[in-house]
Amino acid sequence: MDPQGAVAIVTGGASGLGAATAARLAERGATVVILDLPSSPGEQTAASLPGNAPHTFAPADVQDAEAVQQAVQAATSRGPLRILVNCAGIGTPGKVVARDGSPMPLEQFARVVGVNLIGTFNVIRIAAAAMVAQEPTADGERGVIVNTASVAAFDGQIGQASYSASKGGIVGMTLPLARDLAASGVRVNTIAPGIFDTPLMNAAPQNVKDALAAGVPNPSRFGRPDEYAALALHVVENQYLNGEVIRLDGALRMPPR
């Protein structure tokens, strides 16, 4: 899929991996719609994107069907919606049983799964419906969807039960989604990042971050958002990539803690 002249929605696009991806797509000629929370700096991020396209911010919670529908309508009003990159997510840690013996609040587990898994699917279903309704490109493609999972889907650590479950769900639905949408010319792939330099990770103490970076075999550092963005762009442009989950982690395999 050539981003030039296409419209792209990037969820969680106001910062981190999403902002880097939005910038990369804009550089390649896409019109970018940043879908992020109303409280995010989405408007400023959209205004800072390169190119002459009318980039815009669509405030929405990915779990809100009506708000996502409005964001997709805003995207399709600007041209053919060909690209969706799902970067929105949260990561609230918590053990199943706390030190005081109390069980994890069910609402804590449900919130993480709700944002990361159900929210991702909510945006996919609405955006995919818009993609399927469009005329295909000369190559027969109508759209491409790139989701964000995590290496925690495969080797989640202590305290990551909710996060790993949510990201594992994204991994698990990648192939069936790709198969569901294959006849319509829409591809679906997932990137599973390792430890990246994002606002979520910056909240950790420096000694924790240093230890995590040292555990990455090569290169022994955090991933950069532009490295995620480069892979997301490649997935968009490589027509033969479909139904795949790609780890982007410097050969990291997470220890139990």
Which of 163, 196, 222, 228 does the annotation list as catalytic? Answer: 163
Q: Determine the Cα–Cα distance for residues 100 and 66; give it in Å rounded to an integer.
A: 40
Active site residue 163: yes
Side by side, which strands form the sheet with 56-59?
56-59, 31-36, 7-11, 81-86, 143-148, 186-193, 245-248
CA distances from 163 to 112, 122, 156, 239 (A): 6, 18, 8, 30
Q: What angle do CA 189, 194, 196 make, to 5 degrees?
A: 110
Mind telling me the catalytic residues? 163
